[in-house]
Amino acid sequence: MFKQVLIIADIEGSSGCWDYGASSFLTPEWARACVAMTKDVGSVADALLRAGVETIRIKDFHRTGYNLLPEMINDDCQIIHGYRRGPVPGLGDPGRVQAVFFLGMHAASGTDGFLAHTLTSRIARLEVNERPLAEIELFAASLAPFEIRPVFFSGCPVACQQARNAVEHIYTYPIDKSTGGQHFNPESWRSGLALAAVEALSNEKTGLYRPVGPLHTAVTMRDGEDAARKIAARWNLKCIGDQIIFSAQNMQMLYLELIRICYLTPLVEKTLPFCLMAYNL
Ligand SMILES: [Zn+2]
């Protein structure tokens, strides 16, 4: 059984996010979604602690990383807010844990899951070796060098299917977003989530996620040809129509290239350590 675990928590697949407004920053729906997301994560954390887990680190991974309400989560958990640059992009140092649990996740860009996107909605579609690429693959691959296994995933049914397609033997627990929030019973769903997470503590079948390269990548930009051409030129990448095309040796290299495409300019990349320090302050 895993005794030290990491939880990566997003909001789109949590029990309080039922539209785009709830995933946006500082809307009233968002505030309610933060409470629900916190309760989801909190109930999983409580259940894992009761089951004998000794260390729980929780990374808030939605947007800027300030959505979870720490006062509502067991004090024995360590919550990581904000954005850390490395060694794992966004997360920083994952610490000494053996398994990662993904909660509140969403499906990949260009697929028909609930609020589907990969990293940013500016990417209309993201394909790697002709398959849509979901965020779990980027995160799980970044954690593999630290011997951390991706054992559990929750999100909409499409997101769960994509997780199972990518990571062999991963346990999943879906949330049906098709009924809307009014007809949803968060308490009963949440207790099922916590139960499923505890079961995943003995999921020894899932190995480290290390997909074999080369990874041929096509990033279709929502803003069209001009936007794609501009970004491709900035980073010396190939561009065909509204697609930026490149190959990466492995998933970590692919992740770094996507971060450049989505968020950076060469100047920002150079000054990033300073900017991030200021931002997190
Ligand atoms: Zn999110």
pLDDT attached to residue 263: 84
Closest CA to 13 of 155, 180, 179: 155
On the question of pLDDT at 281 being above 70, the answer is no
Task: Quickly list DSSP for 26-91.
Answer: T-HHHHHHHHHHHHHHHHHHHHHHHTT--EEEEEE-STTT--S-GGGS-TTEEEE-S-B-SSBTBT
Closest CA to 11 of 115, 101, 85: 115
Q: Packing angle between helix 135-143 and helix 251-263, nearest 10 degrees?
A: 130
pLDDT attached to residue 268: 74
E strand or H helix that includes residue 124: strand 123-128
Cβ atoms 205, 169 nearer than 8 A? yes
Distance 118 CA to ligand 1 centre (A): 9
Give the strand pairing for 215-221 and 243-248: antiparallel
pLDDT attached to residue 264: 81
Q: Can you tell me the mean pLDDT for 127-151?
A: 96
Distance 129 CA to ligand 1 centre (A): 24
Distance 87 CA to ligand 1 centre (A): 21
- C-alpha distances in Å from residue 50, one per residue of 29, 55, 60, 149, 194: 32, 12, 22, 21, 11
Q: Can you tell me the mean pLDDT for 62-90?
A: 92
Q: Can you tell me the mean pLDDT for 266-273?
A: 73
Cβ atoms 89, 38 nearer than 8 A? no
Ranking 101-105, 157-161, 234-238 by mean pLDDT, the lowest is 234-238
Q: Can you tell me the mean pLDDT for 186-213?
A: 96
Ranking 82-86, 135-139, 187-191 by mean pLDDT, the lowest is 82-86
Confidence of residue 49 (pLDDT cuts 50, 70, 90): very high
Q: Rounded to two decimals, what is the model's pTM?
A: 0.94
pLDDT attached to residue 271: 75
Distance 155 CA to ligand 1 centre (A): 11
pLDDT attached to residue 140: 97
Distance 234 CA to ligand 1 centre (A): 27
Distance 105 CA to ligand 1 centre (A): 7
Distance 90 CA to ligand 1 centre (A): 13
Distance 141 CA to ligand 1 centre (A): 19
Distance 236 CA to ligand 1 centre (A): 29
Report the C-alpha gap between 108 and 112 in whole angstroms: 8
Distance 7 CA to ligand 1 centre (A): 14
| Torsion over CA: 133, 255, 261, 59 (sign) | positive
Residue 221 phi, psi (nearest 5): -85, 135
CB-based contacts of 262, cutoff 8 Å, min separation 6 = 119, 120, 122, 123
Confidence of residue 280 (pLDDT cuts 50, 70, 90): low
Question: Residue 92: left (phi > 0), alpha (psi -120 to 50), or beta?
Answer: left
Confidence of residue 279 (pLDDT cuts 50, 70, 90): low
Q: Can you tell me the mean pLDDT for 212-216?
A: 94
On the question of pLDDT at 83 being above 90, the answer is no
On the question of pLDDT at 24 being above 80, the answer is yes
- Considering the chain, what is the average pLDDT of its residues? 93
